[in-house]
C-alpha cells in the first residue's frame, strides 16, 4: 500500500538543500567556536520550520537562491517537517548540554546534526526523511 502523497503540502527540494547547507554552516561554526548563540539560531530556525514555516530565516534566505538554480523540484513537505523536528530536538539537546557544561557531548550531538545536514545539502539525502518513512511503516503496522 502506497502512502504517497504523504501530505497535501509541498516544498521545493532545492530550498531544502540550501537550508541543509545553512544548518551545516551554523553547526560547523558551533564546532569550531562552541558558543550558545550558534545553537540558538539553529533552534529558532528549526522551530520556525517545524511549526511556523513562513518565518524560517534559513528558508527565506534559500528561496531566492533556489529560484536562480532552475525549475523547482517539488517534494512532500511532511518528511521535511519531521526532519526539522528531529533537528529541533537535537539542537535543544545540544543547547541543554552546552549550558550544563557538557561541551564534548553537546559537540557530539551537533556533529551528528552536521553530518545529516551535509548529506541533505550535498546529495539531497534527507536522513530525517528516512526516519519518517520508517516511522510511517511502523505506525501502519
| Span 100-121, pLDDT tens digits | 999 999 999 999 999 999 999 9
Could you tell me the CA-to-CA distances from 96 to 60, 90, 92, 128 in Å, in that order?
27, 10, 6, 21
Is residue 3 in a domain?
Answer: no
Average per-residue pLDDT for the chain: 94
Look at residue 4 and tell me if it is in a domain: no
Q: Is residue 5 included in any domain, yes or no? A: no
pTM of the model: 0.92
In a domain, 51, yes or no: yes
Residue 1 inside a domain? The answer is no
* Domain count along the chain: 1
- d(C-alpha 39, C-alpha 26), whole Å: 8
The pair phi, psi for residue 75, each rounded to 5°, is: -135, 165
Whether residue 107 is contained in a domain is answered as yes
Report the alpha-carbon angle 91-66-72, nearest 5.
110
SS3 75: strand
pLDDT in tens, 35-70: 999 999 999 999 999 999 899 999 999 999 999 999
Residue 123's domain comprises 10-140
Amino acid at each position: 500500500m502506497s502512502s504517497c502523497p504523504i501530505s497535501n503540502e509541498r516544498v521545493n527540494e532545492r530550498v531544502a538543500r540550501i537550508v541543509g547547507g545553512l544548518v551545516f554552516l551554523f553547526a560547523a561554526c558551533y564546532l569550531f567556536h562552541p558558543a550558545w548563540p550558534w545553537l540558538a539560531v539553529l533552534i529558532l530556525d528549526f522551530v520556525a520550520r517545524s511549526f511556523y514555516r513562513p518565518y524560517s530565516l534559513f528558508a527565506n534566505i534559500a528561496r531566492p537562491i533556489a529560484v536562480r538554480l532552475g525549475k523547482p523540484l517539488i517534494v512532500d513537505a511532511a518528511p521535511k517537517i519531521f526532519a526539522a523536528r528531529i533537528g529541533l530536538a537535537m539542537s535543544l539537546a545540544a543547547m541543554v548540554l552546552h549550558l550544563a557544561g557538557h561541551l564534548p557531548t553537546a559537540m557530539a550531538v551537533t556533529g551528528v546534526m552536521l553530518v545529516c545536514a551535509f548529506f541533505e545539502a550535498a546529495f539531497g539525502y534527507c536522513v530525517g526523511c528516512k526516519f519518517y518513512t520508517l516511522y510511517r511503516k511502523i505506525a501502519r503496522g
